[in-house]
A and B are shown apart, each in its own frame.
Chain A
Amino acid sequence: MSTVTVSEAGGGRDLVITTSPHMHSRWTTRQVMWFVVLSLLPCVISAVVFFGVGQLLVIGSAVLFAVGTEALIQYLTKKPIAIRDGSAVITGLLLGLVLPPNFSPVFTALGAIFSIAVGKMVFGGLGYNIFNPALAGRAFLQAAFPVAITTWTMPHFAVDTVSKATPLAAFKFDHVLTGMQPLVVGNVGGSLGETSAIAVLIGGGFLLVTRVANWRIPLSMLVGVLLFGGIIWLIDPAAPNPLFHVFAGSFLFGAMFMATDYVTSPVTNLGLWIYGMGISLIIVLIRVYGGLPEGVMYSILFMNAFVPLINRYTRPKIFGEVA
């Protein structure tokens, strides 16, 4: 906030003048962002535990190039360098964590550059982007390197080393249903940060408890996936059960860290429910009827596009407004 300091008339003391309010909550943009960074650490740890220290190269490359791209663009466009707000670090971390193990750091760097440059800065930087930058970057990599991004290295302690696939792909193409215990612990194939439900829930829980993330998004997604997944499962016994939808793939990671991105989610409470349920509906449809085994990324990107519309049509009723 802009402040004016004036020399107090006749008193000689400098007094600060601002408009009200003169008190403020402890929150700052930077604090919010670094809380999110902190919440992602359990997932980074699970990535290292299950896929080896080498994965830090993938994650590190994503973070480094995300931050570097943002700084460079801000320098070139003569904007204040705002990398210390931590938002580019989050984008880098998120991108790194949704890539397959042992993904090429060079490709990762390209993805990070795309995330920041095209996913965020062309829209005007922090607060103005329509699509989740990390997912935009991953979608780019999916299109550019379709083989590399679907090549899965199995974790160190994988129970089932035979099927070199993610639980979702195993179910879709081979009709093999992975058990619940490995899904919760995380010793299954999948993207770096998404395999361990425990790690995701620790980090996500931290975001919810500190009220950084809005609880309505994970909850509405959970309700949505159980509801839609449940309906389809009841109709079609060949479809996976709703709990499998929750714990397999990047559903939890997406619900906790991707969909909860402030900038690309609605601001109204009703809007958040529509958004969360909408994501879940599309996830279930893609997973059950689509050609791809996983649909979290496209579902969130798809619903991102509707956020301005959702905000517009879910305006809360003003206090005392006569309908």
Chain B
Amino acid sequence: MSEFPSREPHAECPEASRSRIPVDVQQRHPRLTIPFAPSRLRVSELPSRLRVSEFPSRLRVSEFPNPDTPLPNCGHSGFDIITEIVIFVTIAGARSKCGIPHVLRRCTDPLVLITLNTVMIFKTFPGGVHPAEQKELSEHCAFEIMPDPDVVILPLSQHLGKQARPLVEKRAVVVKGQVVAEADGFISAPVHSPVNGTVKSIGRESNASGFVKDALVIIPTAPAEGEEAPAPQFLPPLDAATVSPADIRARVKEAGIVGQGGAAFPTFVKLSPPEGKTIEVVILNGCECEPYLTRDHRFMLERPEAIVGGLQLIMRALGVRKGAIGIENNKPDAIEAMRRAVQGVEGLEVVALKTKYPQGAEKMLIKAVNGREVPVGKLPLDVGAVIQNIGTAVAVFDAVTKGEPSLTAALTVTGHGIRTPKNLIVPVGTPLRNVIAYCGGLTDDAAKVIVGGPMMGVAQHDLSAPVMKATSGIVVLTKAQARAEEETACLRCGKCIDACPLHLQPTRLARTSQLGMLEQAEEYGITVCMECGSCAYTCPAHIPLVQWLRLGKQKVIQMQRKRSATA
């Protein structure tokens, strides 16, 4: 049996001020209730005497603060989805990772010192899967800045929306930071030259999404002997403390910043919500739920102030007073770093989330952070939330405070098929081949090169495709990992239905897609699918469910277009 810190520190306990308290196994204690009260709680407000045997068995032990530490995330409505409450304590002076009951069972001494450290409440959504994380390959590698490559391939469409319109001719000399293509329309983004160099050609080049699209090819030029490189054309720095919302939006637009979460939606558009929508909260996505990738993790460790600064700028641009940073609990150091960075900043909080794929999907993140479900066919905006990626916040901060446009991509180069996994800052347009070479090259058994994460990324056939603004990683798998299991008939085990975070029936949808039963596919919600891959990950029959769903989704969307055209 243990005793949690009571409201008055024990006079007889010299370490009471550090919340060390004696445990008397002989004493009788009232039963434990973990308070799910919808108000902010402090550690000291937990029932002062708790019976350890009545702890949920999942309680685990480690970490630290004082009794006045607020219990994180007790101020929201989303309590139905809390899956785990973890109380971190130190027992008998030793940090322990096993459960309190287990530790106490091993302790023969009835008087054991227990230090209550942190109470963490992990939230999540129903469904999802747990792929092997594989983050240890690169999570301890600090960002390195990769030097300019020998060639830069700059796709004009590195964002969702209309491709940019080129402003330079062949053989033009360009300077780092110069706008080489301008935004064309509202949903579009300008492209800047990431290097000093000469435009070699403007033509069709393959890109990492597997398409061949218009791109500028620039040959970087080193400054001649004894000469200074021309100064990069950055935008004038603005004062983050006083900049106006309109100026922030204008800067984000000019800097060509696109969402770093994968879809590459122009950030400026997200900062200009339509009239009449009220936004309550900006949520930064620090989940990084894709296995292998550690870019956002490194950002949170290395640039927490930039992230908080960027978040505040985004909040100001939207006129929002509340900000949250959602981080999966497999990154305790990032949670700690971000908690330190938001300390004393009003309106900001860090929300620890359960590690589960796809926790970082917009809808899942909102569900976990404030318990709201984005209605089918609607946007996060419609439930008062705007989601931005950690990397986007950093880019916004740099664009405003340093005037730096979107010239580089931060990415994780990792996997068992790469010799030296690294986290890199790479000039946009650098061919994958150069990045891989910079990381020691491929191993002999490397077989699959994926741009993005292994759950949603795109397998590459051409390593001369360039890194783009929103490229978050290059994952190289070995032959053994890339080996495909034989596909069998569907066993109707229902594992895909359990795994689908959107509560669809992937097996049924795949079947309708195969048979071309588009009306039924529509009725069963095929267009809701976000292609996260949880179903295909879990399928014992190894049916390429995502492939069928993607195909069916396209056909249903075509059918809907045709229907509305004739209507």
Q: Hey, which bits of chain A sit against chain B, CB under 8 A?
A: 1-3, 6, 8-11, 13-25, 27-29, 31-32, 82, 85, 125-128, 214, 262-263, 265-269, 272, 311, 315-322
Which of B446, B485, B543 counts the most A-chain CB atoms under 10 A from its CB? Answer: B485
Measured between C-beta atoms, what is the minimum distance from B217 to chain A in Å?
A: 15
11 A–B pairs (Cβ distance < 8 Å), ordered by A: A1-B487, A13-B446, A15-B448, A20-B455, A20-B546, A22-B457, A23-B454, A29-B542, A126-B488, A318-B502, A321-B376
Name the A residues within 8 Å of B504 (CB-CB): 318
The chain B residue sitting closest to A32, CB to CB, is: B540
Find out whether the CB atom of B461 lies under 8 angstroms from the CB atom of A17. Answer: yes
Contacts A32-B493, A127-B489, A127-B490 given; 12 further ones with Cβ under 8 A?
A1-B544, A8-B461, A9-B463, A19-B459, A20-B457, A20-B458, A22-B475, A25-B538, A28-B486, A267-B493, A267-B508, A320-B528
Find out whether the CB atom of A125 lies under 8 angstroms from the CB atom of B463. Answer: no
The chain B residue sitting closest to A263, CB to CB, is: B492
Q: Is B106 an interface residue, CB under 8 A from the partner?
A: no
Q: Is B182 an interface residue, CB under 8 A from the partner?
A: no
Find out whether the CB atom of B491 lies under 8 angstroms from the CB atom of A21. Answer: no
Q: Which of B442, B454, B540 contacts A28 (CB 8 A)?
A: B540
From 170 to 188 in chain B, residues with beta carbon under 8 angstroms from any chain A beta carbon are: none
Find out whether the CB atom of B497 lies under 8 angstroms from the CB atom of A268. Answer: yes
Find out whether the CB atom of A22 lies under 8 angstroms from the CB atom of B487. Answer: no
Compute how far the CA of A130 lies from the CA of B504 in the bound complex, rounded to whole angstroms.
23
Contact-size category for B: 35 or more
Name the B residues within 8 Å of A20 (CB-CB): 454-459, 531, 533, 536, 546
Name the B residues within 8 Å of A272 (CB-CB): 494
Name the B residues within 8 Å of A31 (CB-CB): 540
Q: Is B503 an interface residue, CB under 8 A from the partner?
A: yes
Name the A residues within 8 Å of B497 (CB-CB): 267-269, 316
The chain A residue sitting closest to B455, CB to CB, is: A21
Compute how far the CA of A1 lies from the CA of B363 in the bound complex, rounded to whole angstroms.
29
Find out whether the CB atom of B448 lies under 8 angstroms from the CB atom of A13. Answer: no
Compute how far the CA of A2 lies from the CA of B486 in the bound complex, rounded to whole angstroms.
8
Compute how far the CA of A23 lies from the CA of B452 in the bound complex, rounded to whole angstroms.
13
Find out whether the CB atom of A15 lies under 8 angstroms from the CB atom of B449. Answer: yes
Measured between C-beta atoms, what is the minimum distance from B417 to chain A in Å?
A: 10
Find out whether the CB atom of A22 lies under 8 angstroms from the CB atom of B459. Answer: yes
Compute how far the CA of A13 lies from the CA of B463 in the bound complex, rounded to whole angstroms.
10
Name the B residues within 8 Å of A125 (CB-CB): 489
Annotate B130-160 by CB proximity to A: 1 below 8 A, 0 otherwise.
0110000000000000000000000000000
Find out whether the CB atom of B448 lies under 8 angstroms from the CB atom of A16. Answer: yes
Measured between C-beta atoms, what is the minimum distance from B447 to chain A in Å?
A: 5
Annotate B286-308 by CB proximity to A: 1 below 8 A, 0 otherwise.
00000100000000000000000
Find out whether the CB atom of A214 lies under 8 angstroms from the CB atom of B494. Answer: yes
The chain B residue sitting closest to A271, CB to CB, is: B494
Known contacts A10-B464, A16-B448, A29-B540: A322-B505 contact under CB 8 Å: no
From 493 to 524 in chain B, residues with beta carbon under 8 angstroms from any chain A beta carbon are: 493-495, 497-498, 501-505, 507-508, 524
Q: Is B378 an interface residue, CB under 8 A from the partner?
A: yes
Find out whether the CB atom of B538 lies under 8 angstroms from the CB atom of A27. Answer: yes
Find out whether the CB atom of A23 lies under 8 angstroms from the CB atom of B455. Answer: yes
Find out whether the CB atom of A19 lies under 8 angstroms from the CB atom of B492. Answer: no
Find out whether the CB atom of A15 lies under 8 angstroms from the CB atom of B484. Answer: no
Q: Is B69 an interface residue, CB under 8 A from the partner?
A: no
Name the A residues within 8 Å of B68 (CB-CB): none
Find out whether the CB atom of A16 lies under 8 angstroms from the CB atom of B131. Answer: no
Find out whether the CB atom of A85 lies under 8 angstroms from the CB atom of B461. Answer: no
Compute how far the CA of A318 lies from the CA of B525 in the bound complex, rounded to whole angstroms.
7
Find out whether the CB atom of B528 lies under 8 angstroms from the CB atom of A85. Answer: no
Name the B residues within 8 Å of A318 (CB-CB): 376, 502-504, 525, 528
Q: Is B129 an interface residue, CB under 8 A from the partner?
A: yes
Name the B residues within 8 Å of A23 (CB-CB): 131-132, 291, 454-455, 481, 537
Name the B residues within 8 Å of A321 (CB-CB): 375-376, 525
Compute how far the CA of A126 lies from the CA of B447 in the bound complex, rounded to whole angstroms.
33
The chain B residue sitting closest to A213, CB to CB, is: B493
Which of B131, B374, B448, B493 counts the most A-chain CB atoms under 10 A from its CB? Answer: B493
Name the A residues within 8 Å of B457 (CB-CB): 20, 22
Find out whether the CB atom of B462 lies under 8 angstroms from the CB atom of A8. Answer: yes
Q: Which of A11, A214, A311 contacts B433 (CB 8 A)?
A: A11
Compute how far the CA of A31 lies from the CA of B491 in the bound complex, rounded to whole angstroms.
13
Name the B residues within 8 Å of A29 (CB-CB): 488, 491, 540-542
Compute how far the CA of A319 lies from the CA of B454 in the bound complex, rounded to whole angstroms.
24
Find out whether the CB atom of B461 lies under 8 angstroms from the CB atom of A320. Answer: no
Q: Is B394 an interface residue, CB under 8 A from the partner?
A: no
Annotate B537-554 by CB proximity to A: 1 below 8 A, 0 otherwise.
111111110110010000
Annotate B369-407 by CB proximity to A: 1 below 8 A, 0 otherwise.
000011110100000000000000000000000000000
Find out whether the CB atom of A15 lies under 8 angstroms from the CB atom of B461. Answer: yes
Q: Is B96 an interface residue, CB under 8 A from the partner?
A: no
Name the B residues within 8 Å of A3 (CB-CB): 482, 484
The chain B residue sitting closest to A212, CB to CB, is: B493
Name the B residues within 8 Å of A18 (CB-CB): 448, 459, 482, 484, 544
Find out whether the CB atom of A22 lies under 8 angstroms from the CB atom of B505. Answer: no
Q: Is B278 an interface residue, CB under 8 A from the partner?
A: no
Name the A residues within 8 Å of B550 (CB-CB): 19
The chain B residue sitting closest to A24, CB to CB, is: B537
Compute how far the CA of A127 lies from the CA of B477 in the bound complex, rounded to whole angstroms.
32
Q: Is B450 an interface residue, CB under 8 A from the partner?
A: yes
Q: Is B330 an interface residue, CB under 8 A from the partner?
A: no
Known contacts A127-B490, A318-B503, A319-B373: A9-B464 contact under CB 8 Å: yes
Q: Is B6 an interface residue, CB under 8 A from the partner?
A: no
Compute how far the CA of A263 lies from the CA of B540 in the bound complex, rounded to whole angstroms.
13
Q: Which of A266, A316, A320 contacts B363 (CB 8 A)?
A: A320
Which of A29, A263, A311, A319 counts the most B-chain CB atoms under 10 A from its CB? Answer: A319
Known contacts A9-B461, A11-B463, A29-B540: A319-B455 contact under CB 8 Å: no
Measured between C-beta atoms, what is the minimum distance from B18 to chain A in Å?
A: 42
Q: Is B460 an interface residue, CB under 8 A from the partner?
A: yes
Measured between C-beta atoms, what is the minimum distance from A96 to chain B in Å?
A: 22
Find out whether the CB atom of B528 lies under 8 angstroms from the CB atom of A24. Answer: no
From 278 to 328 in chain B, residues with beta carbon under 8 angstroms from any chain A beta carbon are: 291
Q: Which of A1, A28, A127, A262 contacts B494 (CB 8 A)?
A: A262
Measured between C-beta atoms, what is the minimum distance from B484 to chain A in Å?
A: 5
Compute how far the CA of A19 lies from the CA of B484 in the bound complex, rounded to whole angstroms.
11
Measured between C-beta atoms, what is the minimum distance from B124 to chain A in Å?
A: 13
Compute how far the CA of A321 lies from the CA of B446 in the bound complex, rounded to whole angstroms.
43
Name the A residues within 8 Å of B481 (CB-CB): 23
Find out whether the CB atom of A262 lies under 8 angstroms from the CB atom of B493. Answer: yes
Compute how far the CA of A315 lies from the CA of B206 in the bound complex, rounded to whole angstroms.
42
Compute how far the CA of A222 lies from the CA of B543 in the bound complex, rounded to whole angstroms.
33
Find out whether the CB atom of A267 lies under 8 angstroms from the CB atom of B494. Answer: yes
* Pairs of residues from A and B, 6 with the lowest C-beta to C-beta distance, nearest first: A21-B533, A127-B489, A267-B494, A27-B540, A319-B502, A9-B462
Measured between C-beta atoms, what is the minimum distance from A11 to chain B in Å?
A: 6
Annotate B430-449 by CB proximity to A: 1 below 8 A, 0 otherwise.
00010000000010001111
Name the B residues within 8 Å of A263 (CB-CB): 491-492
The chain A residue sitting closest to B459, CB to CB, is: A17
Compute how far the CA of A233 lies from the CA of B542 in the bound complex, rounded to whole angstroms.
47
Name the A residues within 8 Å of B547 (CB-CB): 1, 19
Known contacts A23-B537, A126-B488: A15-B373 contact under CB 8 Å: no
The chain B residue sitting closest to A29, CB to CB, is: B488
Compute how far the CA of A28 lies from the CA of B491 in the bound complex, rounded to whole angstroms.
11
Find out whether the CB atom of A320 lies under 8 angstroms from the CB atom of B524. Answer: no
Compute how far the CA of A266 lies from the CA of B540 in the bound complex, rounded to whole angstroms.
17
Find out whether the CB atom of B505 lies under 8 angstroms from the CB atom of A315. Answer: yes
Compute how far the CA of A29 lies from the CA of B463 in the bound complex, rounded to whole angstroms.
35
Find out whether the CB atom of A21 lies under 8 angstroms from the CB atom of B546. Answer: yes
Find out whether the CB atom of A267 lies under 8 angstroms from the CB atom of B492. Answer: yes
Q: Which of B454, B489, B538, B539 contacts A128 (CB 8 A)?
A: B489
Measured between C-beta atoms, what is the minimum distance from B1 to chain A in Å?
A: 31
Measured between C-beta atoms, what is the minimum distance from B483 to chain A in Å?
A: 9
Name the A residues within 8 Å of B464 (CB-CB): 9-10
